[in-house]
């Protein structure tokens, strides 16, 4: 059973669902800066035969990469933490100026039971910054809505050539254990 194997590998059911949405939505490539919240999804993408992946040195590289892939005929998704959104801001201009689709999945920090105060400034402003940069911003609060929200975001990005972000709530992702 995929479910049992996923559990052993620390892959959450909602992460498996995102991967399935990516597959159904013809995502050819996934780029990311490694992140605890995205870990299970990144593992699924890396182990997939149909999907290529790129580990980025900084999130902003992913915007240029997504643009190049799409110009060459491929769909991609870009995974990051809310802190990474701040790193990207000027590069978002590429998506807006050329109307190139851009699909971002953002694991939120700094909004629920945050242990590191440095995460709060960027976490707090992530929705406003994305909105200011022209993104259509969707949010998933509960595990049972993740697949639907991501599927809608994916379609909106590639049907309408939009920059679309899905914010994955920190409460949903779960508390990080800081004591171990």
Partner 1 sequence: MIERRQAVRDLLAERGELIVVAGLGSPCYDALAAGDHPLDFYNWGAMGSAVMVGLGLALSRPNQPVLVLVGDGEMLMGFGSLATLAQHKPANLTIVILDNEEYAETGMQETATAFGVDLAAVAAACAAPSTKTIRDQRDVGSIRDAMHRCNGLKVAVLKIAKGDVPRTVPIRDGVAIKMRFRNRLLGPDFEP
Chain residues that interact with partner 1, rule: CB under 8 A = 26, 28-29, 52, 54-58, 60-76, 90-94, 97-100, 158
**How far lies 156's CA from each of 23, 25, 163, 172, 175, in Å?**
16, 11, 9, 23, 30
* Sign of torsion over alpha carbons 97, 30, 56, 104: positive
Q: How far is the CB of 92 from partner 1 (least distance, A)?
A: 8
Q: Which is nearer to partner 1, 9 or 58 (CB)?
A: 58
Residue 32 near residue 66 (C-beta atoms within 8 A): no
Q: Which is nearer to partner 1, 43 or 65 (CB)?
A: 65
Q: How far is the CB of 165 from partner 1 (least distance, A)?
A: 17
What separation, in Å, do the N-terminal and C-terminal C-alpha atoms of the chain show? 30
Q: Which is nearer to partner 1, 19 or 70 (CB)?
A: 70
Q: How far is the CB of 22 from partner 1 (least distance, A)?
A: 13
């Amino acid at each position: 059973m995929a479910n049992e194997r996923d559990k052993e590998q620390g892959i959450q059911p909602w992460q498996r669902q995102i991967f399935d949405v990516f597959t159904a939505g013809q995502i050819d490539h996934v780029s990311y800066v490694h992140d605890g919240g995205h870990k299970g999804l990144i593992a699924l993408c890396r182990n997939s035969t149909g999907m290529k992946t790129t580990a980025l040195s900084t999130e902003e590289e992913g915007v240029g990469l997504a643009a190049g892939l799409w110009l060459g005929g491929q769909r991609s998704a870009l995974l990051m933490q809310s802190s990474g959104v701040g790193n990207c801001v000027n590069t978002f201009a590429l998506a807006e100026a050329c109307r190139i689709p851009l699909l971002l999945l953002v694991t939120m920090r700094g909004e629920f039971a945050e242990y590191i105060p440095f995460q709060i400034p960027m976490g707090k402003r992530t929705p406003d910054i994305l909105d200011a940069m022209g993104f259509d911003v969707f949010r998933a609060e509960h595990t049972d809505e993740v697949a639907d929200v991501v599927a809608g975001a994916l379609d909106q990005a590639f049907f309408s050539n939009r920059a679309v972000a899905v914010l994955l709530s920190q409460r949903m992702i779960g508390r990080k254990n800081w004591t171990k």
